Structure 1
Amino acid sequence: MSTPRRTGPGPTGDLVDLDAGTRPTSRSAPSPRTAPRRAGLAWGIFGVLVTLAAWWAFTHAAAGASTMIAAFQPERIPGATASLLERGVVLQDGATSLWRLLCGLVLATAIGVPLGLLIGSYRRFRWTSAPVVQFLRMVSPLSWAPVAVALFGVGNSPVIFLVTAAAVWPITMNTAAGVKALDPLHLRVAQTLGATPAERLRTVVLPSIRPFVMTGVRLALGIAWVVIVPAEMLGVSSGLGYEILNARDRLAYDEMLVVIIVIGLLGIVLDSLAQWLLREPTVRA
């Protein structure tokens, strides 16, 4: 005769088999994050649909007052997109703009992180550099466009220079903030254990300021992407900014609108990619 198995309430209130272990008999509840994500996605899709409906209504209502507005009607976007894709314009210019953006961000990071370490670590250097840094970071990067053209001529170099000038300051200031927020006790402990300055930098400072640097890089990415479009209107013959001017000169306003949409979509993708690449690693028990 078999002995009946004992059951009872588990830690979460579910009915569990006391003889078998801790496996619940009822199905576990869904993750609490699933419902908000689905709701956010649904509301986001709803917002896009409302925007498209408002766009369609406005362009059709105003088309009678201005024939130019008819070029911006949403039903003309597929044909303009197909025309750009046939000529290979969007892919080629998009790749060119992304390459210039990457070069500018790499240079900005190579300059901004060491400069932020110096500003955050040494009080006298921070006092000495404060007037110059505050002045430079308050000047619009596009103000340097004539200087960039005079120094580097036309081509990729002035565009990369302007992207670097726009992206360097968010990285610098966030790095300096991370160094100033560092607990001095950690450095003293490392020094007591005999760590050299290079070892303290590698094992204490850099891991501690990583979230601040990541935030600075993400902010720099957004600013640089905004700046690169007008920067590519300065004597270059490629890039998404150039393609906007080219479409305007040809009075192809529907193609110009497609390029603007591509710029916005690429910006969203770049920001999402930055969040994924620069996210904090999760620790699992």
Structure 2
Amino acid sequence: MSVATRVLRRLLFVVALPAVLLALWWFASADSTDVYRPPLRTVLAAFPDVWNAERLRADLVPSLVRLLSGYALAAVAGVALGTLIGSYRKVRAFCEPVLEFLRAVPPPVLVPVIMLFAGIGDGMKIVVIAVGCVWPVLLNTVEGVRAVDAVMTDTSRSYGITGAARLRYLVLPSASPQIFAGLRQSLSIGIILMVISEMFAASNGLGFAVVQFQRGFAIADMWTGILVLGLLGFLLSVLFQLVERRVLSWYHGLRESSRRSP
């Protein structure tokens, strides 16, 4: 099978289900007279006028900046703390009750509390995203560090590989599949928290725009905002998969070779 055929086949797999769902939505809503559920053709007709260059710059760009800033903070803090906690049994035993307690608290509940300390500006929204996204990264990093192969650990110790070299060449590569699993979970959480945080005392952003459309009874425009959020989540997921495939190429190659071996 040629490369072009494989790419085309993969593309068809990616777009097949969305195309079917859009077709079902189109025909199911074609005769709708409900103001809250307008026909899909009405929503798509409003899309270019609503999401022009000016609105994209005013609402989409700030949302992306907040999302990526909070996500980056969560990734750095989660990997750093997770590596520390996972590397030392006593530290893990000391922190585990607190981690389990904080993980059980839904991040949206913390929005009013964070507003008291961080205000209502962009800082609050970034902190909300970071606080919600950090837990999947941290907990998956802890588990990944704990699962480092004991034989490889003993081998590195016998060769005198310790400290930063051990962290760089053994611990982080071994834990990276788990770390990326946490980063993937955090990405979807970050998008949800981005929207929720922008519904509180905001003046721009995708969440703010959707709420404004709803309050102004612009229902078709509100549905276009929901579509933009879905498209944003899809594009970020595809970008994440490309990065993951590149960084973990050795891991996927190892799995593929083990699957082919008898």
Whether TM-score is above 0.5 comes out as yes
Identity %: 34
Q: In the TM superposition, what are the counterparts of 1:51-62 in structure 2 within 5 Å?
A: 51-62=21-32
CA contact (8 A) 1:85 1:91 kept: no
Letter in 1 for 2:93: W
- Seen in structure 2, the aligned counterparts of structure 1 residues 114 and 67 have a Cα distance that, compared at 3 Å, is closer
Letter in 1 for 2:100: Q
Q: Distance in 2 between matches of 1:58 and 1:34?
A: 34
**Structure 1 spans left out of the alignment, 5+ residues:** 1-29
Q: Distance in 2 between matches of 1:32 and 1:154?
A: 50
State the shift of 1:125 in Å.
1.3
Letter in 1 for 2:208: Y
- Seen in structure 2, the aligned counterparts of structure 1 residues 54 and 204 have a Cα distance that, compared at 3 Å, is closer
Q: In the TM superposition, what are the counterparts of 1:1-285 in structure 2 within 5 Å?
A: 30-31=1-2, 34=5, 38=9, 41-42=11-12, 45-63=15-33, 66-69=34-37, 72-86=38-52, 88-279=54-245, 280-281=248-249
Q: Distance in 2 between matches of 1:110 and 1:141?
A: 19
Q: Distance in 2 between matches of 1:160 and 1:210?
A: 25
Question: Secondary structure at 2:29's aligned position in 1?
Answer: helix
Q: Distance in 2 between matches of 1:85 and 1:124?
A: 53
CA contact (8 A) 2:35 2:219 kept: no
Question: Secondary structure at 1:278's aligned position in 2?
Answer: helix
TM-score (norm 2): 0.86
Letter in 2 for 1:51: L
Which structure ranks higher in relative contact order (CA pairs < 8 Å, sequence separation ≥ 6)? Answer: 2
Question: Secondary structure at 1:234's aligned position in 2?
Answer: coil
Residues matched between the structures, number: 250
Letter in 2 for 1:53: A
CA contact (8 A) 2:199 2:207 kept: yes
- Seen in structure 2, the aligned counterparts of structure 1 residues 44 and 125 have a Cα distance that, compared at 3 Å, is closer
CA contact (8 A) 1:170 1:219 kept: yes
Q: Deviations over 1:21-54 (max 9, x none)?
A: xxxxxxxxx259946962x644655533432333
State the shift of 1:208 in Å.
1.6
State the shift of 1:56 in Å.
3.0
Q: Distance in 1 between matches of 2:36 and 2:85?
A: 52
- Seen in structure 2, the aligned counterparts of structure 1 residues 211 and 49 have a Cα distance that, compared at 3 Å, is closer
CA contact (8 A) 2:198 2:206 kept: yes
- Seen in structure 2, the aligned counterparts of structure 1 residues 117 and 74 have a Cα distance that, compared at 3 Å, is same
Report the equivalent of 1:15. none
Q: Distance in 2 between matches of 1:210 and 1:224?
A: 20
- Seen in structure 2, the aligned counterparts of structure 1 residues 91 and 204 have a Cα distance that, compared at 3 Å, is same
Q: Deviations over 1:152-202 (max 9, x none)?
A: 111111111111111101111111111111012222222222233222112
Letter in 1 for 2:209: E
Q: Deviations over 1:66-125 (max 9, x none)?
A: 3443xx211222432222234721343111111111111111112111211122111111
Q: Distance in 2 between matches of 1:36 and 1:186?
A: 37
Letter in 2 for 1:281: S
- Seen in structure 2, the aligned counterparts of structure 1 residues 106 and 34 have a Cα distance that, compared at 3 Å, is same
Instruction: Judging by fraction of residues, say which structure has more helix.
Output: 2
Q: Distance in 2 between matches of 1:87 and 1:214?
A: 33
Q: Distance in 1 between matches of 2:44 and 2:3?
A: 40
Letter in 2 for 1:151: F
**Structure 2 spans left out of the alignment, 5+ residues:** 254-262
TM-score (norm 1): 0.79
State the shift of 1:205 in Å.
1.2
Question: Secondary structure at 2:200's aligned position in 1?
Answer: coil
